[in-house]
Amino acid sequence: MVAGTGVFASLVPEAPRVLVEITKTSLTHDLVLASRVFAPHTLPATPDDALKTSLSLVRTLGMRSGHDGDKMVGIPARGGVTGSPILAETLTYVEARVVGTLDAEELTVFLADVVGGGRHRSGELLTLQKLRENLPKEWLAEWATSRERQVNEARRRRGLR
C-alpha cells in the first residue's frame, strides 16, 4: 500500500521509532494488526528508469486493493528480519515492530520500534509533488477514483455521511 503519513518518532538516536497511519479499508491495515510488523519504503525519482518503476509501484500498490488480489505478484522482493516484504526497486526501507496503536476511526496510527533497514540505491526521493507531476495522464482517473473511494469510506467511518 501507499501510506499517507510516515515519520520518525523518537528522541533517542540509538532506539529509533517510526509512526505510520494506515486506513482501515486497506488489507495492509489488517496484516499489520495481525503480525505487529511492517516495512515502509521510500521510492526513487531518479534516474528516469527508477522513476518509471516507482510510478508503476505506486499504481500497483496504491491504486488497487489487496482485497481484490495479490498485489505483490511480479514485484521483486525478499523477506526481511521481521518477515515483512522488502521491495528491491526502492530507495530505502526500515523494518519495524509495533509497540502501540491509536484508533482514529477511519485509520489506525501505528508506533513501532525500528529493527532494521537499509538503502538499495542512491537517487532523489519521490515526493508527492514529483509523483503528481509525472503520473501518466491515463492513470489520473484511476488515482482520483481510488482517492474518492478512500475519502468516502473515511467520512462514513467518522459519521460524516
Q: What is the pLDDT of residue 38?
A: 96
Q: Has residue 5 got a pLDDT over 90? A: no
Mean pLDDT of 55-65: 90
HEC sequence for the chain: CCCCEEEECCCCCCCCEEEEEEECCCHHHHHHHHHCEECCEECECCCHHHHHHHHHHHHHHHCCCHHHCCCCCCCCEEECCCCCEEECCCCEEEEEEEEEEEECCCEEEEEEEEEEEEECCCCCECCHHHHHHHCCHHHHHHHHHHHHHHHHHHHHHCCCC
CA 84/CA 34 separation, integer angstroms: 12
pLDDT for res 60 = 92
Q: Is the pLDDT of residue 4 over 70?
A: no
Task: Quickly state the pLDDT bin for 125 (edges 50, 70, 90).
Answer: very high
Output the pTM of the full model. Answer: 0.90
pLDDT, average across residues 157-161: 88
